[in-house]
């Protein structure tokens, strides 16, 4: 992505293992689901790794994009914060280009069938499959005082989010790959036990599937203090990048030549700057022709250029929060109808029909 192209275009997106999805245009009935948990404000990792992929997909597929608040409950939060976070996710989905006339934007807790299907899927999921998921181990490490059953069940609920819409593919960042693999395994286990029913969803992994945070080592993540948020003010972004943005650790003095290959700021240049700017920064860095702050100034300009139209749109949406809520309510109602149809079938094929 360069400063002039605020979304990842088709040419940059590489689609993994989904021949039925790549290059197919105007196909109806091919449904895609993806979600973002409102566990904090959305950041440029969520944008580059997920939302920027969603925007072109809504032109070709029947897309359902969720704000998956039940997932966010696996972390501690203040009750009054949840609505604010849901608003932030909804506003950012829309500000980044999701069109409610093309895609369905829904709230997970508004469709109770997600949790119902998750329970049924958990009964065909062997415990060792869940215990080996790397994200569970990572989360347990990050929140040792709150290793709850929800964390363990997270991938099963995610499988339900996807399968309840019989989705054929799921656009996600790299960290979600093990969850998608598990979703396919769970679909296979269900189909093996009750007969062929769920499609095995493919993953759509973009070219910017793992954006590293300001700390230069961890994936940018809401629960780590290493994010540029989509609604950070320009001055905040300038200060964060200037003060917290980790560069080549071996470049101590302005006169030391640097190595862009091990500099996270240079990794970000690859996401936001033109090829010419990248070449210029690499050259000046290697010969100590300029300092890290000069290099960062070019990056800051480009990040701000990408965020400017998004932030303008955020302001318009924030001025009409009733309108935003209506969009989510409509989308949730639409999603619920599909989910209820699926659950009716699931109840039939699993024998849960005694009262019907």
Beta bridge partners of 62: 31
**Residue pair 206/52 in contact by the 8 Å Cβ criterion:** yes
SS3 content of the chain, % helix, strand, coil (to 5): 55, 10, 40
Smallest CA-to-CA distance from 123 within 330, 354, 353, 350 is with: 350
Q: Is 216 in the site for ligand AQP (CB under 6 A)?
A: no
Q: Is 214 in the site for ligand AQP (CB under 6 A)?
A: no
In the complex, minimum distance from the CB of residue 348 to ligand AQP, in angstroms, rounded to a whole number: 32
Q: Is 41 in the site for ligand AQP (CB under 6 A)?
A: no
Beta strands in 155-279 (DSSP E): 169-172, 202-205
The region of 115-123, 172-180, 249-257, 333-341 touching ligand AQP under the rule CB under 6 A is 172-180
Rounded Cα distance between 28 and 10, Å, is 19
Which two three-digit tokens encode residue 246?
A: 């980790």
In the complex, minimum distance from the CB of residue 107 to ligand AQP, in angstroms, rounded to a whole number: 14
Dihedral (Cα; 197, 204, 51, 264), 10-degree rounding: 140
Smallest CA-to-CA distance from 32 within 154, 196, 203 is with: 203
Of positions 58, 108, 176, 273, contacts ligand AQP by CB under 6 A? 176
Which two three-digit tokens encode residue 347?
A: 């109840």
The region of 13-21, 25-33, 215-223, 237-245 touching ligand AQP under the rule CB under 6 A is 215-223
Alpha carbon 111 to its chain's center: 20
What 3-state DSSP class applies to 115?
helix
Site string for ligand AQP, 45-84 (x = CB under 6 A): xx-xxx----------------------------------
In the complex, minimum distance from the CB of residue 332 to ligand AQP, in angstroms, rounded to a whole number: 17
Nearer to ligand AQP, 200 or 215 (CB): 215
Nearer to ligand AQP, 8 or 221 (CB): 221
Nearer to ligand AQP, 45 or 260 (CB): 45
Of positions 87, 104, 153, 221, contacts ligand AQP by CB under 6 A? 221
Chain contacts with ligand AQP (rule: CB under 6 A): 36-37, 39-40, 45-46, 48-50, 172-173, 175-176, 209-211, 219-223
């Amino acid at each position: 992505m360069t400063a002039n192209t605020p979304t990842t275009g088709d040419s940059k997106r590489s689609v993994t293992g989904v021949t039925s999805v790549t290059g197919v245009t105007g196909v109806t009935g091919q449904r895609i689901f993806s979600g973002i948990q409102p566990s904090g404000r959305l950041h440029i990792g969520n944008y580059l790794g997920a939302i920027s992929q969603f925007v072109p997909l809504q032109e070709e597929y029947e897309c359902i994009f969720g704000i998956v608040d039940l997932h966010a409950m696996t972390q501690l939060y203040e009750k009054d914060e949840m609505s604010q976070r849901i608003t932030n996710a909804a506003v950012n989905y829309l500000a980044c280009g999701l069109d409610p006339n093309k895609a369905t934007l829904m709230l997970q807790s508004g469709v109770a069938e997600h949790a119902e299907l998750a329970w049924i899927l958990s009964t065909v999921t062997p415990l060792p499959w869940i215990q080996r998921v790397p994200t569970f181990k990572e989360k347990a490490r990050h929140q040792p005082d709150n290793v709850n059953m929800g964390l363990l069940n997270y991938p099963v609920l995610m499988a339900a989010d996807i399968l309840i819409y019989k989705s054929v593919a799921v656009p996600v960042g790299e960290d979600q790959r093990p969850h998608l693999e598990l979703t396919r395994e769970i679909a296979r286990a269900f189909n093996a036990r009750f007969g062929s029913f769920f499609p095995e969803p493919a993953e759509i992994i973009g070219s910017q599937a793992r954006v590293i945070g300001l700390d230069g080592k961890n994936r940018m993540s809401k629960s780590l203090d290493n994010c540029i948020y989509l609604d950070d003010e320009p001055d905040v972004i300038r200060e964060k990048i200037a003060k917290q943005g980790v560069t080549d650790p071996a470049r101590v003095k302005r006169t030391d030549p640097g190595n862009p290959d091990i500099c996270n700021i240079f990794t970000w240049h690859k996401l936001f700057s033109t090829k010419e700017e990248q070449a210029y920064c690499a050259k000046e860095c290697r010969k100590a022709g300029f300092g890290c702050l000069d290099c960062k100034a070019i990056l800051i300009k480009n990040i701000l250029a990408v965020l400017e139209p998004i932030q303008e749109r955020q302001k318009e949406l924030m001025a009409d929060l009733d309108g935003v809520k209506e969009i989510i309510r409509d989308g949730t109602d639409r999603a619920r109808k599909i989910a209820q149809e699926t659950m009716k079938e699931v109840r039939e094929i699993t024998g849960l029909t005694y009262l019907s």
